[in-house]
Amino acid sequence: MKTLVLVEHEEGQLKDATLAAVTAASRLGDVHLLVAGSGVGAIAEQAAKIAGVGKVHVADDEAYAHQLAENVAPLIAGLMDHHDAFLAPSTTTGKNVAPRVAALLDVMQISDILSVEGEDTFTRPIYAGNAVATVRSSDAKKVITVRGTAFEKASREGGSAEIEQVGGSGDKGLSSFVGQEVAHSERPELTSASIIVSGGRALGSSEQFHSFIDPLADKLGAAVGASRAAVDAGYAPNDYQVGQTGKIVAPELYIAIGISGAIQHLAGMKDSKTIVAINKDEDAPIFQVADIGLVGDLFKIVPELTGKL
């Protein structure tokens, strides 16, 4: 089987989410990559080095600069004449583009796969991860998004794939990029960090969120996450949100501070290796999944912890 994987990239860097999708694709067959963007020669070079990749297709055009689904999906659909499966990471980019590709190909997408059980059989989470379904696709071509935490990352070194320029239909004129508000942080990225310090509504304000959570995260070299409640309350920006509809994370260590543990939040972090919960309510559901729990006032515990580490 020949697979095509969409490369996720940002500001000249190939993102880790791509590497998990490459691993999933390699379970199905030969792996080809697609780099779509504007001025993406360096990304194509990085992509060609990924272990196990056979070919890198590069579509370098201003129309693909912001990964607009209206422009990128027809490009991918065209390339699928020569591929049997399309895989994208379950990132906001992948989730935006892949279903549009699936509909153009008249294929029912398999979202957010956790494993490859066979060439047409996959597992995927449903009901906020409260159940795992094994599904078999009867479509001739497959369109798949891949949960990044469920697959090992392919190595960024060791490959020497051929790079081929491809052309697409360019700008469809349906949509255009206006602007973005992207936070630049020195901290590791949430979805690939090995330690995450996450704050909930109990932090009480944006100021307290940052003055209590940030120093602990920085001491540990951790990424900062948040519950939906904390984001809704405006204590933390939306890109911090961990959960069913936010980011799915599985770090070595997840420290949940003032997070009660709604099922929607647990859905995003319950595959973490070690979970620590700090909460003043000893009956909070978070303690049912935590490996280490400490009941008490976070405003006393967190500064003490930060100071002693």
Partner 1 sequence: MKLLVPVKRVIDFNVKPRVKADGSGIDLANVKMSMNPFDEIAVEEAIRLKEKGAASEIVAVSIGPAKAQETLRTALAMGADRAILVVTDVEVEPLAVAKILARIAEEEQPGMIILGKQAIDDDSNQTGQMLAALLGWAQGTFASKVEVEGESVNVTREVDGGLETLRLRLPAVVTTDLRLNEPRYASLPNIMKARSKPMAQKTPEDYGVDVAPRLTTIRVVEPPKRTAGVKVGSVDELIDKLRETGVVG
Span 194-223, contacts to partner 1 by CB under 8 A: 194-195, 220
**Contacts for 252 with CB less than 8 Å, ≥ 6 apart:** 194, 195, 272, 273, 274
Q: Which of 81, 157, 160, 174 binds partner 1 (CB under 8 A)?
A: 174
Among residues 157 and 183, whose Cβ is nearest to partner 1? 183
Query: 10 Å Cβ neighbour count for 117?
Result: 14
Q: Which of residues 59-98 bind partner 1 (CB under 8 A)?
A: 66, 68-70, 73, 91-93, 95-98
Strand-pair category, 13-14 with 9-10 = antiparallel
Under the binding rule (CB under 8 A), the answer on residue 280 touching partner 1 is no
Return the structure tokens found at 285: 């559901």
Among residues 198 and 244, whose Cβ is nearest to partner 1? 244
Q: How far apart are CA 218 and CA 211, in angstroms?
A: 11
Among residues 156 and 172, whose Cβ is nearest to partner 1? 172
Among residues 130 and 205, whose Cβ is nearest to partner 1? 130
By the 8 A CB rule, do 33 and 56 touch? yes
Q: Which of 58, 59, 116, 129 binds partner 1 (CB under 8 A)?
A: 129
Among residues 159 and 251, whose Cβ is nearest to partner 1? 251
Q: Which of residues 17-46 bind partner 1 (CB under 8 A)?
A: none
By the 8 A CB rule, do 122 and 150 touch? no
Return the structure tokens found at 220: 């540990």
Q: How far apart are CA 19 and CA 35, in angstroms?
A: 13
CA 221 remoteness from chain centre: 20
By the 8 A CB rule, do 11 and 25 touch? no
DSSP output for 9-31:
EETTEE-HHHHHHHHHHHTTSEE
Q: Which of 81, 157, 181, 283 binds partner 1 (CB under 8 A)?
A: 181
**Residue 91 is which amino acid?**
T
Q: Which of residues 254-273 bind partner 1 (CB under 8 A)?
A: 263-264, 270, 273
Among residues 157 and 309, whose Cβ is nearest to partner 1? 309
Among residues 41 and 237, whose Cβ is nearest to partner 1? 237
Binding characters for partner 1, 91-110, by CB under 8 A (x = yes): xxx-xxxxxxxxxx-xxxxx
Q: Which of 51, 65, 128, 250 binds partner 1 (CB under 8 A)?
A: 128
Q: Which of 51, 166, 293, 299 binds partner 1 (CB under 8 A)?
A: 293
Q: Which of 119, 206, 289, 299 binds partner 1 (CB under 8 A)?
A: 289
Q: How far apart are CA 47 and CA 43, in angstroms?
A: 6
Return the structure tokens found at 141: 């071509």
The CB-of-73 to partner 1 minimum distance in angstroms stands at: 6
Q: Which of 22, 223, 253, 257 binds partner 1 (CB under 8 A)?
A: 253
